[in-house]
Structure 1
Amino acid sequence: MTFKGTSGTRSRIVEVDVLRAVALFGISIVNTVGVSGMPTVEAGGDPGPAYWVYETFLHQRFFPIFSFLFGVSFGLFLDAAGERTNNPRLVMLARLGFLVPFGALHRLLQPDEVLLSYAVVGIVVLLPASFLSGRAVLGLGAVALAAAVLVTGGGSMLIPGLFLLGYAVQRYGIEKVLSLPVRRVAVACVVGFLFAVVLNGWQVGSGSESGSRLAAVAGLVTAATYMAFIVLLLRSRARGALGVLAPLGRMALTGYVGATLMIVVAGRFMSLEEAPEYGAAVSLGVGVFVVELAFSSLWLRHARYGPLEWVWRCLTWWKVLPMRRRRDRPAER
């Protein structure tokens, strides 16, 4: 049984927010390497174990989770908008359209940022897919994901397939998926772990870097295993502790952009661009995540939305919405 932030038919699904926060954890570390310009290996040198730990545990392992959850959130928002207006797709078009300037501005600091791509793919792929059946969306998502791996070796080309799969899961019923018997989730965890070990070991043994088909498949399997493991923990006594992550998941846009700003500022003092310093990069990424988590927890004690989420929502609905939190009102999607 899923647990929610507050009662109400449109309360936040805490599990989704926790998963999104976990994705931001890995992304904060990976973006520390990218934004700071840190070289991943010494010029002409052997990659070394630190490089392969980064490649197999972090790089392209959390981005698929973030993208998959965007598809889930697309469906959740579209359903919620349908209860407030007769033109929910028009509202969604506005929502995705206003994500474009967020992404364009963010790209000035982070060339590899995904918000702009998310907005465009959301408009071009997800909106048309909303007219299809859930089964058709699932099939298209599987085909698009397989094609991206086979033709391009993954990367940003995985986004359409991951979006569609996330939306298909939401159409099927995200609560049903999150409420699967613990035994099934545990089996999925074990199977995923075994496949991930084999694929990541194969990637290291063959020296396959990101951009290869093997690395793309290993990344997807590892990401799926991470998600299954978190869902399993959320069905255990650990769910209370993991619930602490939910506020950051609710403020993912603010957290994602804010992390870049913090990394840019910190990078001026750490000189990570000079040599591969994985210990320093991971420490900075974890530190950024902790700051994000603390800020989101404090902010949402008094506000209904994160700062950027509020601006985005006001633009979407084309009106100024109340920001101050009301204790008797459930958090909205």
Structure 2
Amino acid sequence: MKPTEGNKRIDILDYLRGLALLGIILVNILPLLAVKLPSPGSADAAYQRFLFLFVEGRFYTLFSFLFGVGFYIFISRANAKGKNGYVLFLRRIAALFILGWFHVKFHPGEALTVYAVTGLLLLPFYKVKKEINLGIGLILLVSLSIMAFKLFMVVPLILLGIAAGQYRIFEKLAGKLKEAAIFTGVMFLLSMAGLIYQFQHAPSAPFGFFEGGVDETTYMFLSIGIMIGPLVSALYVGLLILLLQFSFVQKLLSPLKSYGRMALTNYIFQTVFIYLAGYVFNLFDALSYLESLIVCLIVYVIQLIFSVVWLRYFQFGPLEWIWRGLTYLELPPMRKRIKDEN
């Protein structure tokens, strides 16, 4: 069985995956390098508050939702080409689980194993009507958000991604700009209300979230953050969709598209680069919050440049190529054809 070819990529999904990766590393680096607790009233304390208002729980949410969209598109395109999309998908998530199993040994909070297991559980929902998937997804997401069950929110987020695929939300967006603008406006109002509410419950002193338990005030602040996370994530999606309607923005953010097209490679190698920096420069339990931001910015530059250059010559990212080979039981050609390079 040969890999599917000629499938038209939906560019906005690559942009969104790239955006999600930019946010995920900002939070993941904190426990991986045991970043130091900020001093009260410091710039590091202000940055910590910023992270837990605008980043924590916002980009992981987006990444989970996008996995659901990809879930639906993958099976649909495979079936449309006369292949058994279910069998291919099962191989795909089995390979993802194996990659995640190795990754989790170094990064306990990694997402790939969770996505693989959840994808298996939600496979029957591929055939369920889109209205039912949307309804169940929304009910579960609201319920779990209110209870601040962050880990279990992956289930409704992926289910909503499947529904988004069924509704073809991200296809032919140029004809849906009015709806996108209305959606973004509503999400802006809801997100601002939620963020103001969360800010009002912000603890007066910095907190060691990754060092154990937290006090009641901090727990409330973090719980509200989990509760409003999907709203803020949806706002980010809407804003990016609207911004990308301008050609100069597309050109400016084109490296982000390459970054997201190699999402698996870049996600795994974020961990590799963080640990490499930690061991080479002895950064464990030595970095401040703002210094962790500098490390992330350096990783951004390296990965964005690498992604752009790599995809200039190759069709897939390194791990995407292996993942595809395990899915189809045949390694596809890596180099771009001459006509693809012109």
Change (3 A) 1:41 1:218: farther
After superposition, give the CA deviation of every residue in 1:268-322 in whole Å (9 maximum; x if it has no partner): 32525246x2211111112212211111111111111111011111011111221
- Note the 1:304-323 alignment, pairs <5 A: 304-323=315-334
1:121 and 2:118 are equivalent in the alignment: yes
Change (3 A) 1:315 1:34: same
**Distance of 2:171 and 2:312 partners within structure 1:** 30
**Distance of 1:40 and 1:80 partners within structure 2:** 48
TM-score (norm 1): 0.88
Aligned letter for 1:184?
E
Gaps of at least 5 residues in structure 2 are 203-216
Partner of 1:220: 230
Gaps of at least 5 residues in structure 1 are 1-7
Partner of 1:273: 285
Change (3 A) 1:273 1:177: farther
**Distance of 1:222 and 1:163 partners within structure 2:** 17
1:174 and 2:169 are equivalent in the alignment: yes
**Distance of 2:32 and 2:66 partners within structure 1:** 23
- Note the 1:39-54 alignment, pairs <5 A: 39-41=36-38, 48-54=45-51
Partner of 1:75: 72
Q: Structure 1 stretch 179-188 or stretch 244-253: which is displaced more?
A: 179-188
**Distance of 1:140 and 1:270 partners within structure 2:** 47
- Note the 1:242-261 alignment, pairs <5 A: 242-261=253-272
**Distance of 1:198 and 1:183 partners within structure 2:** 23
Partner of 2:311: 300
Contact 2:38 2:289 in 1 (8 A): no
- Note the 1:62-101 alignment, pairs <5 A: 62-101=59-98
Change (3 A) 1:110 1:189: same
**Distance of 2:263 and 2:243 partners within structure 1:** 21
Aligned letter for 1:271?
L
Seq. identity, %: 31
Partner of 2:143: 147
State the 1:209 CA deviation: 4.5
**Distance of 2:128 and 2:50 partners within structure 1:** 41
State the 1:108 CA deviation: 1.2
After superposition, give the CA deviation of every residue in 1:167-205 in whole Å (9 maximum; x if it has no partner): 101111134573354343333333322322221221121
- Equivalent of residue 186 in structure 1, options 164, 181, 193: 181
Change (3 A) 1:100 1:244: same
Change (3 A) 1:297 1:229: same
TM-score (norm 2): 0.86
Contact 2:141 2:157 in 1 (8 A): yes
Change (3 A) 1:163 1:94: same
1:263 and 2:274 are equivalent in the alignment: yes
**Distance of 2:14 and 2:295 partners within structure 1:** 23
**Distance of 1:9 and 1:169 partners within structure 2:** 22
State the 1:147 CA deviation: 2.6
**Distance of 2:167 and 2:86 partners within structure 1:** 19
State the 1:142 CA deviation: 1.0
Aligned letter for 2:132?
A
Q: What's the RMSD between the two structures over aligned residues? A: 2.4
Partner of 1:4: none
1:234 and 2:244 are equivalent in the alignment: yes
Partner of 2:205: none
Partner of 1:3: none
1:105 and 2:115 are equivalent in the alignment: no
State the 1:220 CA deviation: 1.5
**Distance of 1:242 and 1:198 partners within structure 2:** 29
State the 1:139 CA deviation: 1.4
Partner of 2:209: none
**Distance of 1:137 and 1:209 partners within structure 2:** 34
**Distance of 1:225 and 1:209 partners within structure 2:** 25
